[in-house]
Every structure is written in C-alpha cells, then in structure tokens.
C-alpha cells in the first residue's frame, strides 16, 4: 500500500507535534509516578507522627483508668483524639490548640465531645485508619481488614508493663478507596493538562511550519522559473541561516546562467558576423569574376586568397578555442628550460615587428638554467598570441616590451605596449571570446577576439592567472603568473 504524499509543511508540523506529544506523555508519566510516590510517602509520615503523638496520651489514659474503656465506650472521644493527631501531623494545630489533656479524659462517657468553633460543622476525615488493641493484639477500636491491614504495631507500656498496641499501616502497594479516588482525580487532571498542551502545541506548530516552509516555496517557484529559461529570476534573501545561504547561492547561480546566456547570444552573433564578412567578400569576388565585371587576374585572386586565409584562421582559432574550453587540448607537461622557449618566440616575431616599425624589447630576469613544469607548445602559443595581439593593435612607430621574471614562486610574464590604449571599463572583458574593445576595428589587423581567450584557457590549465591593466607606456599591460612549485635550478 502506497502512503499518501505529504507536503513539507505537514511533515514539519507532524515532527513538531509528535515530538511535543512524546515530551508531554513522558512528563505526565513522570508527574504521576512522582506524585503517587510522594503522596504515599507523605501518608506514611503522617501515620507515624500520629502514632508518636497518640502513644503518650493513650499510655497516660491507661495509667489513670487502668484500661481503655473510656475510649471504647465513647467512640467520639477516640475520634477527637485521632482527629487531633491528624491535625498535629499536618501542622494545622499545635498542642495548645487542642483541649487540655486532663480535661479530655475527665469527661464522662455520656458527655458530648467539645468542638472548637473553627471546626464546627466541618467534619474532618483522617486519611489513616488507626487500630487500638490489647496486649494480645486483639482490636479494641478499629477493624483489621484487607483494605486496612495493620503492618506495624507500636507497643504501649505503663510502668514497664505492656498494656496494649497502637497499630497503623505503612502504604506500599495497596491504597484505600479514598486514596485511589484522589489519585484518579489527579491523574485525570494530568491527562487534561496533557490534552490542552497537545492542542496548544498543535495550534502553534502549524503556523511555525508554514513560516519555515515559506522561503522553501519561494525557492521552489523560482527554480521552476529558472528551469523554464527565465534567468532573470531572483529570490528575496533575509537572515543568515542555511535557507538564506541557499537563497544567496540560488541568486548567484541565476546570475551566472543569465551571464552565460548573454555571452552565448553575443558569441553566436559575433561568430555569424565574423564569418559573414569574408564569405560575403569571397562571394562578391566570385560573382564579379563570373559576370565579367572584374578580371580573374593575380591582384584580385590574391585579395580573394587573403580573405580565404582569414576565414581559415578564424575557423582554426574557433577550433582551438573550443578544445581549450573543453579541456581537450593535449597538455604534455614536463620540466622545461624557459630561456630557449622565450628566445625562440621573440626571434620568430622580430621580422614582423620590424616590418611594422615596432620595437620589441625583451628582458629575461631568470637564470639560464631556470626550469618549469609546463607544456612547451602551449607556452609558445601563449607568448605568440600575446605578442601577436600587441603587434596587431599597436600604432607605428611604437614599443612593445616583454619581461620575464621569477616572483613569489611564480613565473611572471609581462607584456606592455604603447598606444592606442583600451577603455578601463573594457579591461575585465578582454579575455572573453570574440570580444574586442572596438567592434568597428578594421579586420585587416586580423584579430577576431579569440587569441586572448585561448591565452586565458592555457593559463588556467597551468593553474595560473592572467590579467590586463592600463600601461604606463600608453597602451595595454598584460600580466601572466604561472606557479613554479615544480621549478628547479638545474
């Protein structure tokens, strides 16, 4: 049989209610046990104090009369004695509150017992049943029954001679009807208290459960919106508990998805734009050849080849970028000498720099035998992309500096160039795919905004960092840090 589905608020309410029920039941059980135990202990104490109060009086009566006939013939006098002992045991009356002892026993058997004004018309029933017996333990006053068993006898002695016994019961398991009735009444009171406590706790637990579930419902609704592609969804966060932290994480996730969506849309638009330009040019050139508008001579074919090469470069860059973002580039890291790698790249670009009237200054502040655990091919690609970026976007005549040093257990590579610079607000986006600080920049420079994105992925694969800032030379300054924990000095 499948259980019905319960909402979270009902589950929380049940948890609170059941826990309260267990506590209330345990509390009632303990209170009943404690009350029953203390009540019987109190009755036993009262019985003992009654006996200790009555024994001297009964012994004096016997010494005066020679027997207990005054009490057996006048039960009212016995009742008055028993009542006085009960009041004394409970602390209600003092010795001088009762009648004088000699005056008690001087009354005739037929005299009506004297009642004090404040007990008039208020008959008092004692909770203990005392038994007065002779020296053979034969009851003179009181009856020994299963409901009133005499378990303890207090001997009564006059001048060293045993004249009788005063019997009383110490309660252990059996209780009188009066006691059982009293205990039942108290148990009913405890039960009523428990029921009221459960009703109140249940009433309070319901709004508390609803209050706890409210932020979860907000998150549930926001998650549904997010799953439908509404990445602008946010939840209101209040407090500092786990639910508040969950709300903050949700908002961060939503913002990340929103940014990724915007970046993906821009990426698709940029890719389309980048591909459309050379394709449109190539198509126009071919159509002009077919229509005879332009001759298919060397000059026009070279222009066509240039556009095809740019298109091919763009496709290769996109492929390399996708591999680097997916982590599919084949990184073969091993301990490499850094000097030869840097010198090889700088020598390879010197001709292009001279052709554009740019000066390239290289400073390598590293030992000749400085080694680092890197992929040499990817490090060469990193340096080539950075130097090519400066080559493309630095006005001639200009200056580009390359500095390599060891700083704080890192290989530090810094490339700076002269103007033009980059707007400060564009710096954080320079390493985004297809981003260029000026969307209208002439594509004759050959850049599509992919090289720096590849550089960032290469640095990330080496657990390093890369950043851009404005250069004091007037252009751009790019700083790369590659951890050198595995470097050695030969």
Q: How far apart are CA 107 and CA 80, in angstroms?
A: 13
Query: What would the 3-class secondary structure string for the chain be?
Result: CCCCCCCHHHHHHHHHHHHHHHHHHHHHHHHHHHHHHHHHHHHHHHHHHHHHHHHHHHHHHHHHHCCCHHHHHCHHHHHHHHHHHHHHHCCCCCHHHCCCHHHHHHCCCCCCCCCCHHHCCCCCCCCCCCEEECCCCCEEECCCECCECCCEEEEEEECCEEEEEEEECCCCCCCCHHHHHHHHHHHHHHHHHHHHHHHHHHHHHHHHHHHHHHHHHHHHHHHHHHHCCCCCCCCCCCCCCHHHHHHHHHHHHHHHHHHHHHHHHHHHHHHHHHHHHHHHHHHHHHHHHHHCCCCCCHHHHHHHHHHHHHHHHHHHHHHHHHHHHHCCCCCCCEEEEHHHHHHHHHHHHHHHHHHCCEEEEEEEECCCCCEEEECHHHHHHHHHHHHHHHHHHCCCCEEEEEEEEEECCEEEEEEEEECCCCCHHHHHHCCCCCCCCCCCCCHHHCCCCCHHHHHHHHHHHCCCEEEEEECCCEEEEEEEEEECCCCECC
pLDDT tens, position by position, 393-416: 899 899 999 999 998 889 999 999
C-alpha–C-alpha distance, residues 419 and 399, integer Å:
9
How far, in Å, CA of 145 to CA of 135, rounded?
A: 19
Q: What is the pLDDT of residue 173?
A: 47
pLDDT at 114: 44
Length of the chain, in residues: 490
**pLDDT tens-digit series, residues 275-320:** 776 788 788 888 888 888 888 888 888 888 877 887 887 787 777 7
User: What confidence score (pLDDT) does residue 324 get?
Assistant: 64
- pLDDT per position as a tens digit, 70-103: 888 887 888 888 777 777 776 665 554 444 444 4
Report pLDDT for 405. Answer: 93
pLDDT score of 123: 33
Q: What is the pTM of this model?
A: 0.47
pLDDT value, residue 413: 94
Intervals of the chain under pLDDT 50: 1, 3, 96-127, 173-174, 439-446, 486-490
User: How many Å apart are CA 411 and CA 406, to the nearest integer?
Assistant: 5
């Amino acid at each position: 049989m499948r259980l019905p589905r319960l909402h979270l608020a009902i589950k929380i309410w049940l948890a609170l209610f059941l826990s309260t029920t267990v506590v209330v039941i345990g509390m009632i059980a303990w209170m009943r046990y404690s009350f029953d135990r203390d009540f019987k202990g109190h009755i036993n104490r009262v019985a003992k104090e009654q006996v200790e109060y009555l024994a001297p009086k009964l012994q004096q009566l016997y010494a005066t009369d020679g027997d207990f006939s005054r009490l057996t013939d006048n039960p009212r006098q016995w009742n008055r004695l028993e009542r006085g002992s009960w009041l004394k045991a409970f602390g209600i009356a003092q010795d001088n509150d009762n009648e004088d002892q000699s005056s008690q026993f001087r009354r005739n058997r037929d005299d009506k017992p004297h009642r004090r004004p404040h007990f008039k018309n208020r008959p008092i029933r004692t909770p203990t049943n005392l038994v007065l017996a002779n020296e053979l333990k034969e009851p003179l006053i009181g009856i020994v029954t299963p409901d009133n068993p005499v378990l303890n006898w207090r001997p009564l002695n006059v001048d060293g001679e045993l004249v009788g016994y005063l019997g009383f019961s110490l309660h252990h398991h059996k209780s009188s009807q009066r006691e059982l009735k009293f205990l039942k009444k108290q148990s009913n009171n405890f039960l009523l208290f428990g029921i009221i406590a459960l009703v109140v706790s249940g009433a309070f637990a319901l709004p508390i459960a609803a209050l706890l579930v409210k932020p979860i419902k907000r998150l549930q609704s926001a998650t549904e919106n997010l799953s439908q592609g509404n990445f602008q969804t946010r939840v209101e966060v209040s407090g500092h508990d786990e639910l508040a932290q969950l709300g903050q994480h949700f908002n961060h996730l939503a913002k990340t998805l929103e940014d990724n969506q915007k970046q993906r849309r821009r990426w698709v638009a940029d890719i389309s734009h980048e591909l459309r330009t050379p394709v449109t040019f190539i198509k126009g050139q071919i159509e002009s050849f077919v229509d005879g508008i332009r001759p298919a001579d060397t000059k026009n074919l070279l222009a066509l080849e240039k556009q095809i090469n740019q298109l091919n470069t763009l496709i290769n860059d996109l492929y390399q970028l996708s591999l680097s973002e997916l982590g599919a580039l084949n990184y073969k890291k091993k301990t490499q000498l850094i000097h030869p790698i840097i010198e090889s790249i700088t020598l390879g670009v010197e001709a292009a720099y001279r052709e554009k009237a740019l000066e390239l200054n290289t400073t390598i502040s590293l030992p000749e035998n400085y080694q680092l655990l890197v992929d040499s091919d990817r490090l060469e690609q990193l340096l080539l992309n950075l130097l090519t970026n400066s080559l493309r976007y630095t006005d001639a005549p200009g200056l580009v500096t390359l500095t390599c040093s060891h700083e704080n257990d890192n290989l530090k590579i810094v490339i700076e160039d002269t103007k033009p610079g980059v707007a400060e607000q564009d710096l954080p986006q320079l390493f985004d795919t297809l981003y260029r600080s000026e969307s209208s920049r002439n594509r004759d420079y050959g850049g599509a905004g992919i090289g720096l994105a590849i550089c960032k992925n290469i640095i990330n694969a080496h657990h390093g960092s890369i950043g851009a800032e404005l250069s004091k030379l007037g252009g751009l300054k790019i700083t790369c840090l590659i951890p050198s924990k595995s470097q050695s000095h030969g």
